[in-house]
A and B are shown apart, each in its own frame.
Chain A
Amino acid sequence: MSILETPRIYFTGQMIWDPIVTNNYAEFYNEDTADPAPPGDPVADFRKRAIAAVDPRNWNPHGTHRSNFLAEISGVDVGGGLDTSDPFVGAPANFLGMLVDAEPYGTFSSQLFFDAIQFGIAGGYRVTCPRRWRAMSRYINFNRNSWNTVKAGIASTIWQTSIPKDCGLQLDPHDSPALQALVEALADDGVLGLTVRWNTYRTIYYDDPTVRTNSGGQLSIDAQALIAKLNLPDSFQPNPARSEMVGVIGLWREGEPACEPGDRSLLAQLPNEVVATAFARVTNDVLVIDLGNSVTEVDAQLTKQDLGTLTVCAMSPDGSTVVEELGTLAYSQYSRCAYLATSGIVELPLTASAASLAATAPLQVRSGGAVYLAEEVVRAAPQTQQIIYLDQGGDSVSATLQVLSFGEPAGAGVTVTRYTWDGSTATLVDTAQTGADGVASFDVAPAGQGAIVQYIFTAGADAAEPAFDPLLTPYIYARTLPNDSDIGAKAATWDNVYTYVLSKWKAMAPCMDNWLDLDDPTQVHAFGPVLKKLTDPGNFEIYRYMPVTRDMTEGERLLLWTFLDAPLEPGAGPVVWRAGAAAPKPRRDLQALSRLARS
């Protein structure tokens, strides 16, 4: 079972994004040292520069990183097709998370830290999903909204998390047939819990849909208006972006990755990737395809591109020859109306013989002679750890990848190869073999200094050396935070704590000032227990962890905690600016990852 099987529940609406983006740019942030740039820039000067840079790039220096749904349940399917009469339809979908990029300069490492997703309300129809794993952004589609090139407006992406049924997952079905069916299905031993997958697209900035490029008068007008607001003293001026969204709640079965799609991967086809990677499954003589991230909207009215009638074909094992046309999808099945109704999931009924063939033949989706999607039969996907945080000198972490063959866990002995990717070149690292469960494990060790490394993977001994493409290539990120032992060894004076820890937060994340005056030693010290709780590595996954950017080093934490544990030194006063802060540190060359979206 997966979200491509029934029962499943659809939701739709908008998603609001409010990240601080100042750390997206090398002029403001050093990814390796996890420090504001340049070192020693006074907080007030840093903030002035950050505000001045709003026009044209730094669009949200007062962000909070908060990201939330404005959505509701839009339909259900318990096996008989779309049903909008279930009483669960119309229930609110509530999600509040913190959007954090592990690799802030780029766009491939976005993640949402959250505590719970709730569909419905307490006392009524409800699905409560406590967080087990962060929601991950995967399969970024840079072809999605080519008419909307402002910031990341061109792109769409898949978000996914899964919730084990023994981790507090709660369903209150009352008389909802859909929720009752979900409860029944969850009792199956092969079902591990629920998966929540959603797709965000058509992102607009400044709440101004007329701004569609990174150059032009209206963007500058909007940016200057924001700058004027930001220059108001003692004010808080977030500038959230907003996306359209569709989503699905369904079953998470054994052998499926938790935080990105599994099933059968129908990959986008180079060179143009007209249709972005989709996911398919054959069940009960129905071929179900998730096109949620796949078909472009061609205009601001969000009209879906008319690709004509799509033909789904069963191919020969090498993918070169059509064995049988399994069926067709008319435009009406992937149009805007259909997309909103079923969150991009389409169904193609099959005859019994066609279903049997489709189970073991590579699939392709074609139209008019063009191949839009082609199945990669054997494929690896990170199980749960798409992004790994490490400490310099700390422990390694084991990253596991699930290898799927025709959407089912592969057996033992499949070779999975790991490479590093520096933005242009893949460098072989090592290989691992799958066990009987189709899982391969890799040791991810911390770097010798602060660094962000992207690993990409292939499955199969004869797989070609890959070049990274988010629609094609499995990948993980590993961010090593520097130890900063020199900072940890400093005397725990207010002066040092402010200079080496809190001034960085105050510069980069003014929203923290809304909660606490970071340059007030009395206030900071008074909130010591809360600060220690929120900066505790054991609370790294919670929504309110500080700093929200998850880039606090061990040395910084040691210095802060030592200060908080000791009595407040007499005479400590608010710090305007302490000169001679962090010394410049060597910085590696920047990876050329999706900088376009940061312009």
Chain B
Amino acid sequence: MIRLQATPPSNVDDAIAMLQTAAAIELGTLPPYLYAKFSILPGTNPAAVDRLGMIVVQEMIHLCLVCNILNALGATPQLKAPVYPCTLGDVGPPGGEPLTIHLLPFGPDSMAQGMAIEEPEEVPPYQVVNLLMASGGAMTIGQYYALVDAFLGTLPATAWTPDNNQITDDQFFAGQLFAVNGYADAHNAIQQIVSEGEGAKDDPLDFQNELAHFYRFGEIFYDKVLTKIPEDPGYQWGPAPLGVDWSAAYPAIPDPGSHDFSADSKAAQAAQAACNAAYSGMIDALQLAVKGEAGQLGAAVRKMFELRMAAMAALQIPLADGKNVAGPSFLYTPTGSGASA
């Protein structure tokens, strides 16, 4: 799991800083999940594609919700695209190494990584949060959010700015994305984010009775449908298979951002450039969207489609070794507006 170092916020600036970190994590999960999804051969692994697609969409929504909270607190969300491999701020277990996030093609390793990112704490998060509030320390993403949530609940109504640069579901993500105009909305947003990622206490289902991300990754990893059983603990993996074909994936190299493409074909280099341009355009449009510019979420979604097409092209171009291909490196370069402007 990702463990974040934090102490209970003592003022709004602290909370804003924690939420900026949360936004960076939500944004940072998109490339590894997309890399795995893109690398699935077209027309194969429908159950895995479906589950990964839902996770990606929900991560986009989580990012927007965090930005809505930031805007409601009068802050300006700042999107920072990480370079992979990276830790997304993980401090690791006591005495251990941080979880390093890689761009991995579809396979057991990428699904295990997804489970690791989304892994819930065994103990109920909010009880743990109460303990952490006293002492601070390393915590899961869910606990981290709970810490922010607990502080936000103490703020007076005057701390919130209603209708400030909010992104709603009027165009995308119907029923899942809503404005944050006060603490009640922020609390609902945090609950949605945490439950969709980790599930509810002792329950793999989120608040909408859908499987949380950790368990969706688990279904793919184990190639088993998470199935309800009458006896404890209430669920088991299988026996029905999900229908995963690990071989039905492009032979994509891990972490293409670390690969030296100078020895590869011009086509491969051009494909990488196209991917990075689309990704950078998406990030910049997202940045403008969360700053309140009308229509920019639609621009970001359009760039996302471009990225998908560019990735499909890139994944069909052999590298110099004649065996492998490369998916998008997700390297951000400013496009002249948005995040870096």
The answer to whether A binds B is yes
Chain A interface (Cβ < 8 Å from any Cβ of B): 14, 16, 62, 68, 70, 72, 90-92, 121-125, 174-175, 206-207, 225, 228-230, 232, 234-240, 242, 514-517, 523, 530
14 CB < 8 A contacts A-B: A91-B209, A92-B209, A122-B226, A123-B226, A123-B240, A225-B294, A229-B294, A232-B296, A236-B305, A237-B295, A514-B302, A515-B305, A515-B309, A517-B309
Q: Assess whether B208 is interfacial by the CB under 8 Å rule.
A: yes
Contacts of B174 in A (CB 8 A): 14, 16, 68, 70, 240, 242
The answer for the CA separation of A516 and B309 in the assembled complex, in Å, is: 8
Nearest-Cβ distance from residue B233 to partner chain A, whole angstroms: 14
The answer for the CA separation of A86 and B303 in the assembled complex, in Å, is: 44
Nearest-Cβ distance from residue A132 to partner chain B, whole angstroms: 20
The answer for the CA separation of A238 and B240 in the assembled complex, in Å, is: 38
The answer for the CA separation of A206 and B169 in the assembled complex, in Å, is: 11
The answer for the CA separation of A228 and B197 in the assembled complex, in Å, is: 35
Q: Are B171 and A239 in contact (CB under 8 A)?
A: yes
Q: Are A123 and B302 in contact (CB under 8 A)?
A: no
The answer for the CA separation of A458 and B210 in the assembled complex, in Å, is: 47
Nearest-Cβ distance from residue A95 to partner chain B, whole angstroms: 13
Chain B interface (Cβ < 8 Å from any Cβ of A): 42, 168-172, 174-175, 205, 208-211, 219, 225-228, 230, 235, 240, 294-296, 298-299, 301-303, 305, 309
Contacts of A516 in B (CB 8 A): 309
Contacts of B228 in A (CB 8 A): 123-125, 174
Q: Are A235 and B175 in contact (CB under 8 A)?
A: no
Contacts of A122 in B (CB 8 A): 225-226, 240
Contacts of B305 in A (CB 8 A): 236, 514-515
The answer for the CA separation of A239 and B297 in the assembled complex, in Å, is: 13
Nearest-Cβ distance from residue A193 to partner chain B, whole angstroms: 22
Q: Are A232 and B225 in contact (CB under 8 A)?
A: no
Q: Whose C-beta in chain B lies nearest to the C-beta of A120?
A: B209
The answer for the CA separation of A175 and B231 in the assembled complex, in Å, is: 12
Nearest-Cβ distance from residue B40 to partner chain A, whole angstroms: 15
Q: Are A72 and B235 in contact (CB under 8 A)?
A: no
The answer for the CA separation of A70 and B209 in the assembled complex, in Å, is: 13
Contacts of A92 in B (CB 8 A): 208-210
Nearest-Cβ distance from residue A116 to partner chain B, whole angstroms: 11
Q: Are B209 and A228 in contact (CB under 8 A)?
A: no
The answer for the CA separation of A5 and B301 in the assembled complex, in Å, is: 46
Contacts of A124 in B (CB 8 A): 205, 209, 227-228
The answer for the CA separation of A429 and B177 in the assembled complex, in Å, is: 52
The answer for the CA separation of A230 and B294 in the assembled complex, in Å, is: 10
The answer for the CA separation of A198 and B168 in the assembled complex, in Å, is: 27
The answer for the CA separation of A90 and B305 in the assembled complex, in Å, is: 33
Contacts of B230 in A (CB 8 A): 174-175
Q: Whose C-beta in chain B lies nearest to the C-beta of A207?
A: B170
Q: Which of A225, A236, A515 contacts B298 (CB 8 A)?
A: A236
Q: Are B227 and A123 in contact (CB under 8 A)?
A: yes
The answer for the CA separation of A238 and B168 in the assembled complex, in Å, is: 13
Q: Are A121 and B175 in contact (CB under 8 A)?
A: no
Q: Are A123 and B210 in contact (CB under 8 A)?
A: no
Q: Given A124-B228, A514-B305, does the pair A237, B298 have CB atoms closer than 8 Å?
A: yes
Q: Given A123-B225, A229-B295, A235-B295, does the pair A90, B209 have CB atoms closer than 8 Å?
A: yes
Contacts of B296 in A (CB 8 A): 232, 235
The answer for the CA separation of A228 and B298 in the assembled complex, in Å, is: 12
Q: Are A228 and B210 in contact (CB under 8 A)?
A: no
Q: Are B299 and A235 in contact (CB under 8 A)?
A: yes
Q: Are A238 and B299 in contact (CB under 8 A)?
A: no
Nearest-Cβ distance from residue A307 to partner chain B, whole angstroms: 32
Contacts of B226 in A (CB 8 A): 122-123
The answer for the CA separation of A70 and B178 in the assembled complex, in Å, is: 14
Contacts of B240 in A (CB 8 A): 122-123
The answer for the CA separation of A470 and B10 in the assembled complex, in Å, is: 63
